[in-house]
Amino acid sequence: MAWVSTLGTYWEPTLAHFLLLSAAVFCIGLVGVMVRRNAIIVFMSIELMLNSVNLTFIAFARYRFEMDGHVFAFFVMAVAAAEAAVALAIVIHVFRHKRGVSVDDLQELKY
């Protein structure tokens, strides 16, 4: 597939481009998970990682002309939505309890 760019040349992104983008988004999410202290940001980072995986699925599905990847992507989105609901509820409760959403404050179950 290809389309006509405004510059008038044909530019056709290949599978590698999608995968590279996906990897980049995944790494951004990963770093977010590792370094951020705000629970909501961490949560958002996880969403980033999930969606980067979705992108990979779609890219492969398109590349191989098969529907399996699409199905997986839908499942991931459904699970992510449910997870978002639960996670946000937890975050809200943590905020009510602690007056803050820093993950470093949640130490009680550690020891």
Partner 1 sequence: METLYADEFYFLGLIVLAPLLGAIINGLLGSRLPRKVVDWVACGAMAFSFVFALISLQGLVNHGANYDGEDGFGPHLTYTVYQWIFSGDLQADIAFLFDPLTAVMVLVITGVGLLIHIYSVGYMADDPDKWRYFTYLNLFVFAMLLLVLGQNMLVTFIGWEGVGLCSYLLIGFWYNDEQKAAAGQKAFIVNRVGDFFFILGMFIIFYTAGTWDYLELHQMATSTATVAQLLPIAFPAGLLIFLGCTGKSAQIPLYVWLPDAMAGPTPVSALIHAATMVTAGIFLLCRLNWLITLSPALMAIIAVTGALTAIVAASIAIVQNDIKRVLAYSTVSQLGFMFMAVGVGAFVAAIFHLMTHAFFKALLFLGAGSVIHGMHHEQDIRKMGGLRKLMPWTHATFAAATLAIAGVPLFAGFYSKDLVLWNSLANTHVLNVQGVIENIRAMLPEDRLQELEVLLTDEVAAAITDAGGEAVEVVTWALALNWGVYLVGLLTAGLTAFYMFRLYFLTFWGENRSDEETRAHIHESPGSMVGPLSVLGVLSVIGGYIGWPHFLARYFPEGLQPYVLGLEHWLADVFLVADQYRLVGRFGESPYLPEAISAGAAIAIAGAGIFLAYVMYIKRPELPGVIHERTTRLYDVLMNKYFVDEAYDFLFVKPTLWLGKASYWFDRYIIAGLLVGGVAFMTQNLGQVLSNLQSGNVQRYATYITVALVLIFIAIYFGVM
Residues of this chain that interact with partner 1 (CB under 8 A) are 30, 33-35, 42, 103-104, 107, 110-111
Q: Where are the beta strands (DSSP E) in 6-63?
A: none
Q: Of 2 and 16, which CB lies nearer to partner 1 in the complex structure?
A: 16
Q: How far is the CB of 99 from partner 1 (least distance, A)?
A: 21
Contacts of 88 by beta carbon, 8 Å cutoff, 6+ apart:
43
- Residue (30 or 61) nearer to partner 1, CB: 30
Q: Which of 33, 76, 68, 36 is nearest to 52 (CA)?
A: 76
Rounded distance between C-alpha atoms, residue 3 and residue 11, angstroms? 7
Question: Minimum distance between the CB of residue 31 and partner 1, rounded to whole angstroms?
Answer: 9
Least distance (Å) from partner 1 to the CB of residue 34? 5
